[in-house]
Each structure stands twice: as C-alpha cells, then as structure tokens.
Amino acid sequence: MKLVVIGFGQCGGRIADEFARLNKRARRWRGIEIITGAFAVNTDAADLSGLSTIKSDYQHRVLIGGRKTGGHGVGKINELGAEIAREDSDKVIDAIRTAPRFFETDAFLLIASAAGGTGSGAIPIMTKHIKERYVDKPVYNLIVLPFQHEEDTEERTIYNSAACLKSVSSVADAIILVDNQRYVRKDFSLRNNLAKINALIVEPFYNLLCAGEEKKSKYIGVRMLDAGDIIQTLVGWSVIGYGKSQLPLIRIPFAGTRNFRKKSTEIHRGIQAMDEAVGELSLKCSPMDASRALYLLSAPAKEMNMELIKDLGDYLRDIASEAIIRNGDYPREKGMLDVTVILSELSDVEKVRDYYARSTSFIPEVRKRQKRVESKLSQIDEAAKDIPSLL
C-alpha cells in the first residue's frame, strides 16, 4: 500500500518525518516505495526546521498562517489553527500535487496530536478538503492522544482533544488512535523518549505497507495482504499493534522437521508475538468491540505453516468474536517472527468517551471563570474612575 503522509503541528510533523525515514529503509533494503509523498505542515517555522528526513524545500515543509502568527505557532488555540488551515488549504493541496509519484497513491494518512493547537485544529479541516478533492481515495487520520501529565495539568488539553476527535470522526474514513502514555519509558531522557515513541508508533506500518508492494516472487506470501484488504478493514475508530519473537540464530543439528518439540516451539513463538501485538495495541480497548480485524504474519518462509496461521486466526477470533477477520503472510523477515494487528470499526472507545464527558463539564467552568475575572476587572476600573489619566 502506498500512502501520502501529511503531518500537522509539531507532533504530526515529527511522526511524518519517521514515515519518511521508514520509506528510505524500505527503498534501501527492499527496493520498495511505500510513501509517495511526506509533508509537514505547521504555523511554527522552528518546528519545521527541526525535522531531518522530509525534504527541506517549501513544498514539503509547508508554513501556513505566517501573516497571523508570524511563524511562531498558535499557542494551543485550536480554533485559530482551524481558521488558518481553512484559509491556507490550497497551499497544502498544491504541495501534495508536487509529489512525482502521486498518481500511485492508494490513500492519504494525516497525522496530528489531539491536544495541540495547529495539528488539532488543522487536521479535520484538511481531511474534509482532501476528501472533497480526491473522492476516490480514502483519507485516514492518525491521532496522537496526550500524556497523562498533560491531561492532569492543562485543562485546555482535554478540550482540544475532545473537539479534535469529534471533528475528525465526522470526516475521516478511519481514525487510528495512539495513546502516548502507553509508549513512555521511565528511564529515557525527554528527547530520547519522544524519538523512541515516534519510532514505536510508526514501526507497525512497515511490513503492513511493504507486503502488498513486494516485487520479488520469493517474498510474496501465499495469502498476500494488499491495499484492498487494508482499505476494507480500516473504518471508524481503529487501533494498531505490533509484536515480535526472536528466532534462534543457530539451529540445533539433527533436529528433524517432524520433531514434536520443534513444532510446539514454532507455534509458541507465533502466539507470543500475537499476544504482544494485542497487549501493546496503540490504545487500550476491548477487542470484542471491533467489527473488523486484520493480522499479518511476517517471518522467514520456512518458519511459517498452515497450523501457525490457523492458531493465530483462532486466537484473534476468540478475542474479537464479532469481527470480520482478514489475514496475510509475508515471508520477508530474517531472524524474527512478527505479527501486526489492526482492530477497526470499534463500537466503543472508553478514552474518547472520557474526553467528551470531561470537556462538557470543562466548558461551563471556563465561562464561570471568565465572568469572575471580568467582574474583578470591572471593580478595579470602578475604583480608578476618579483618577486622572496621563493619556
């Protein structure tokens, strides 16, 4: 599957940068192109300068709202981010058209943080504009939810997240939710933590996108999972997970292929990878709420067999009994067996409901606070009315 990837705001731009790096890796090691264009859109020039892989020209790093923000961002005010995106949407569309292989694109992936200003405000507006312009291609959103400490200390974070999620849910073909908190490593520095989180968010897409674009016959799976399967799976609220299991570098001599211990170990490795993929889903949810699901098994060809595929399918069927399940195999990895899982068309997402509920109670509180501030300011003005002004 080939994607045009567009990141909005600081968070979205950095994850789009990771997708550009993923494409370089696929091109170098597999001779495959999976990203037809990677773009970063922001109101802050400094954030755009901090990227490393996306081309540095103005058509790939797109600065919007320069007149209103002076290139210094919108300060978490997502209403302003939405207004700027509405005014400068043509600038983004024109940039997308410059991708030399744009005509090969299967879908769009727009990325943003739900809690920010530029990304949170711009992503629903641009999703709507791109869907109207390219009606035959699905438009997916990857929405990154804030850290727990941001929710606890910044009330605006909750409001922005709720407004963003409500807006994108009405326009995007699918919303892949990613909870930042699930990727935190306590012993990492701030810079390394964020870089690692971005890499972990993007990693599950590598084999998923490569499988359907493979050119060499020996690496094409018996049941190939391509863009059509992914498009039919991704609908509404979605999550993605990835798990892996290391294979032994040295094989035990004289261990026959019919040895029962070897067979049991092979199955166990596959179940272990599937277990990790489900346990490390990008957002905590109940798999029973999924109406569509997909899994891709990637491993050396000799490590995959019908029994393993069946056991993985049974595993997913047990935890997502209401879902239509699609699967595929990709005989590519060396020294590793990994499983990518997508659960889609989720009927209930507790985290999203929580944002909506908390935001609903937050709005009246803000209005009360504003009235109190206005009242106190008017009292100060009243106290100063008899004092002459020097103006």
Going by pLDDT thresholds of 50, 70 and 90, the confidence category of residue 72 is confident
Closest by CA to 124, choosing from 176, 166, 73, 90, is 166
Percent of the chain with pLDDT over 70: 93
**CATH number of domain containing 251:** 3.30.1330.20
The span from the CA of 368 to the CA of 66, in Å, is: 33
Look up the domain containing 45 and give its range. Answer: 3-202
Instruction: Mark whether 197 and 331 lie in a shared domain.
Output: no
Q: What are phi and psi of 333, to 5 degrees?
A: -60, 150
Burial class (CB in 10 A: 0-12, 13-18, 19+), 367: exposed
Q: What are phi and psi of 277, to 5 degrees?
A: -60, -40
The answer, yes or no, to whether residue 150 has pLDDT greater than 70, is yes
Q: State whether residue 61 is helix, strand or coil.
A: strand
- Identify whether 216 is part of a domain: no
The span from the CA of 51 to the CA of 15, in Å, is: 10
The answer, yes or no, to whether residue 256 has pLDDT greater than 70, is no
Instruction: Mark whether 245 and 194 lie in a shared domain.
Output: no
Instruction: Mark whether 194 and 248 lie in a shared domain.
Output: no
On average, the pLDDT of the chain sits at: 89
The answer, yes or no, to whether residue 364 has pLDDT greater than 80, is no
Instruction: Mark whether 61 and 126 lie in a shared domain.
Output: yes
User: Which one of 156, 186, 202 terminates a domain?
Assistant: 202
Going by pLDDT thresholds of 50, 70 and 90, the confidence category of residue 302 is confident
Residue 333 near residue 208 (C-beta atoms within 8 A): no
The span from the CA of 34 to the CA of 4, in Å, is: 9
Task: State residue 383's pLDDT score.
Answer: 83
Tens of pLDDT, residue by residue over 82-101, are 999 999 999 999 999 888 88
- Identify whether 168 is part of a domain: yes
Task: Work out the average pLDDT over 376-388.
Answer: 82
Closest by CA to 83, choosing from 44, 126, 112, 45, is 126
Tokens of 249: 């570098």
Tokens of 93: 């569309």
Instruction: Mark whether 335 and 244 lie in a shared domain.
Output: yes
Percent of the chain with pLDDT over 90: 64
Instruction: Mark whether 177 and 250 lie in a shared domain.
Output: no
Q: Could you tell me the pTM of the whole model?
A: 0.90
Instruction: Mark whether 198 and 306 lie in a shared domain.
Output: no
Residues 6+ apart with CB under 8 A from 336: 244, 245, 246, 247, 298, 299
- Identify whether 287 is part of a domain: yes
Instruction: Mark whether 69 and 179 lie in a shared domain.
Output: yes
Instruction: Mark whether 67 and 189 lie in a shared domain.
Output: yes
Handedness of CA 247, 251, 257, 263 (dihedral sign): negative
Instruction: Mark whether 187 and 268 lie in a shared domain.
Output: no
The span from the CA of 106 to the CA of 86, in Å, is: 25
- Identify whether 208 is part of a domain: no
- Identify whether 220 is part of a domain: no
- Kindly report which listed range (65-74, 158-167, 304-313) carries the lowest average pLDDT score: 65-74
The answer, yes or no, to whether residue 252 has pLDDT greater than 70, is no
- Identify whether 233 is part of a domain: no
The span from the CA of 219 to the CA of 298, in Å, is: 10
Task: State residue 251's pLDDT score.
Answer: 55
Instruction: Mark whether 66 and 174 lie in a shared domain.
Output: yes
Task: State residue 10's pLDDT score.
Answer: 93
Task: Work out the average pLDDT over 209-220.
Answer: 91
- Identify whether 361 is part of a domain: no
Residues 6+ apart with CB under 8 A from 265: none
**CATH number of domain containing 75:** 3.40.50.1440
The answer, yes or no, to whether residue 283 has pLDDT greater than 80, is yes
Report how many domains make up the chain.
2
Instruction: Mark whether 120 and 259 lie in a shared domain.
Output: no
Residue 355 near residue 237 (C-beta atoms within 8 A): no
The answer, yes or no, to whether residue 254 has pLDDT greater than 70, is no
Beta strands (DSSP E) in the chain are 3-8, 35-42, 61-63, 107-113, 139-145, 174-179, 236-246, 290-298, 324-330, 336-346
Q: How far is CA 260 from CA 255, 272, 368, in A?
A: 10, 18, 70
- Identify whether 269 is part of a domain: yes
